[in-house]
Structure formats: C-alpha cells, structure tokens
Amino acid sequence: MMSPEEALAHFVVAHPLAEVPADALRTTRRVLLAASSTGVAGAGEDGVAELRALLRERGGTPQATTLVFGDRMPAVAAAQLNGTMCRALDFCDAMAPGPHFGAALVPACLAAAELRGGCSGAELLAALAVGCEVGARFNLSERQYDGFDPTGIAAVFAATAGAARVLGLDAAQAQRALGLAFNRCGGSFQSHIDGTLGVRLLQGWVAAAGVEGAQMAQRGLTGPLNFLQGVYGFPHLYGRGTLAPGDVVAGLGREWRLQRMMFKPYPSCGATQGLTELVLALVQERGLTAEQVAQVEVRQPPYSHRLVGHPFKLGANPRVDAQFSAAWCVANAIVRRGSTLDHFRPEQVADPAVLALVDRVHTVGDPAMDERGHTAVDVIVTTADGTRHTRGLDIAPGFPGRPLSDAQHRAR
C-alpha cells in the first residue's frame, strides 16, 4: 500500500488526462486563460520593470522566455518574472480562503516546457490539471492559515506538481520535489494589509520554487519524503491539530477539489467581490450618488475583515492599497458606478472624489457571520435624509455556488 506521499507523487506523474472530468478540464482551461491574459496585462505594473532589470542583471543560461518582453532567461528566473506579472492585477483565479494557483502554476509549467524542449497542448493541460488539484488538496481553512498567505503555502505544491509533470519526472523524483516544495512554504497576509508589492512578488517566488524544486529532484537532490506523515510534516506545522495526512489524498483522482476554484468579476481581493456587487446593485436600484451617502457600514466575518477591513491608507503602491481595501472598493463602486481595471490605476485610486467617500465607509468584523461562510457580507447604506438601505449575501459572485457564465469569463 502506498503512503500518502507516494500516492500524491504517483498522481502527479501518471494520472491520465482522459480521466480528468470534463468540468475539471473546463476549469483548468479557464485557469490557463486567466493567468496568461492577466500576465500580459500586468507587464506594465509596479515592480515588474525593477524585477526584470534585476533578473537580467543576474544573467545565466537562456532557457525560457518571459511574457510580453521575450527575454531569454534561466527557467527559474522566467517563471519568477512571469508569475509576478500574472498576479500584478490580482485578477487571476483564486480559491477560498485565498490561494492563487494559476499565476504560479502556468508560468512554472511554461518554463518547464521550454526546459524540456517543448510539450504538447494535451501534456500542458494534464500538468495544469494535476497541479491545480494538488494545490487544492493542500489548501487549508481560515483557522489553519491564521495569517499565512495561502498562496505561499498551497500554491507552491501546485507549481511544483505541474513542473514535475511537464519535465517527465518519475514518481520517486516527484515525491522528492514535493518534499522540497514543503520546505519552501511561507508568506504572510501582512503584505496585503501594508499595501506592498510583496503580494505579487510572492507569486513569482512560488512559480520559481516550483521549477527549481522539480529541477533539483530530477538531478537527485532530496527533500523530506515524509512531508505529510512526518512528526514535523505539513499537518503538524499548518493543520493546527485538525488535519490528518490521509485527508490530503482522500479520493485522489476520483473527487476533484480544483472545482472549488473561483474567478472574479471585479479586479480586487476575493473578500471584496460580494460587497462590490451589493453596492453596485444599490446604486443601480436606488440611483444613489456619492453626495447622497452619509455613511456606509460593511460587515464581514473576521477573517475577511482582517484582510480588507483595515483603514484605507494611500501608500507607495496605490493599486495594492485599493485591491485590498473594502472601504475603497465601496467608495469606488458608488462614485464610478462600476469596478474595472482602469479604476485601480494609481491616479484613479487617488481621485479626491473617491477618497472623500472612503472616509464615510466603516467596516466591522462580526464573528456571528462565520457560520454564513467565507464570503458573507452585509452592506448598510445610510443616506443624508436618514434612509437606510440594507443588502446582504452569503456567496459572492464567482465563487462555487455562483460561478461566472461563459460570457462573464470572456468579458473579464
């Protein structure tokens, strides 16, 4: 009988594309579309030019290609830059309570494909499917993460699994690669709260770690083989007493967790999707204008509130400040009657009309809302004449239970 680690490695290298369910393949294709399109669109965002210059300065063997620029770099470096670009707009795929898989997995697989000398579309799709599934199985609960950035914990396994599949590693090598990935876990939500480029840079590091771990394992370098069952394995470090090693691989290949992926209708944090939708609905239904609004109260579960409910502060990276601010997203939706990529440009984030309304938005973390789910939110808008308009939802748009339509995916 295979150990959980062996079962996971065997799945990574041998699960046939033909046995991936149609709906899981559909999700996988959407992951590829989302990551590649946001990567191209993110090429001009803050930090990309500086990171590109640094990686070019380091030099190295030209093994893989960067998106948009066409630079030839070492595969690890190309994956790092491409991953950073894919996350820059925060408009890629995600999964509750916060990991972003595609923006690391797709760059890792593309770099691995160039290392290998090319791969077919079917091989790439298989690698993306198993990578997404592996990442989904390492995804944790809000309580287990408790401030860790889920991308730095779960997505590193996704990127490593995908790169291992593309490079043609055998099961023993894949197990070593996943053990190395375990040693690369890390990252904090403090990057988001402080409005730093660390959010997108972590995505690049995760993509690079996936390629590097697979390359190392291919050459015989070892990581912990008992990264699930070991006394200091993943469940011990991150499961907080509520995760068993077998939980990660239960139903592997039969039950597909990647279908919990979500795709955002609005280009901001997943915790702002519901409140943006509610505010836009009120604006449309009631014809509300910023001048009419005396106060807005936003109530969220504590996990979401800690991430986006802090007071808005305009800092060195305005897009990040806005992406992870409930107050700014509410004010923007009221003032501009929409929420688009252009609204998050630095000069738009600093628009005095939006900032004036931000000061009238108050956020509350309500523990009683936990039972309603990760994306639950209530919005109460009070107008100057004292009228209160209240709206609420439990499942935000784009999340499982409320997926985007094909037309909405194309519109993104």
| 305-354 per-position pLDDT tens digit | 999 999 999 999 999 999 999 999 999 999 999 999 999 999 999 999 99
Flag whether pLDDT at 122 surpasses 90.
yes
Max CA distance (Å), the chain: 71
Could you tell me if 37 and 164 lie in one domain?
A: yes
Could you tell me if 351 and 373 lie in one domain?
A: yes
pLDDT at 241: 86
Could you tell me if 182 and 307 lie in one domain?
A: no
Rounded CA separation 33/101 (Å): 13
Flag whether pLDDT at 411 surpasses 90.
no
pLDDT at 407: 86
pLDDT at 101: 99
Could you tell me if 333 and 229 lie in one domain?
A: no
Q: Where are the alpha helices (DSSP H) in 265-366?
A: 273-286, 302-308, 318-323, 326-336, 346-349, 352-358
Place of tokens 């519901």: 274
Could you tell me if 253 and 349 lie in one domain?
A: no
Q: What is the pLDDT of residues 391-400, one digit of tens each?
A: 999 999 999 9
pLDDT at 412: 83
- Of 237, 260, 283, the last residue of a domain is 260
- Average pLDDT, whole number, for the chain? 98
Q: Name every residue whose Cβ is closer than 8 Å to that of residue 380 and which is 6 or more positions away in sequence.
A: 296, 297, 299, 388, 389, 390
Domain extent at residue 323: 270-411
Q: Please give the C-alpha separations between residue 240 and each of 139, 237, 247, 389, in angstroms, as whole numbers.
A: 13, 7, 14, 41
- The whole-model pTM stands at 0.97
- Mean pLDDT over 176-203 rounds to 98
Could you tell me if 288 and 354 lie in one domain?
A: yes
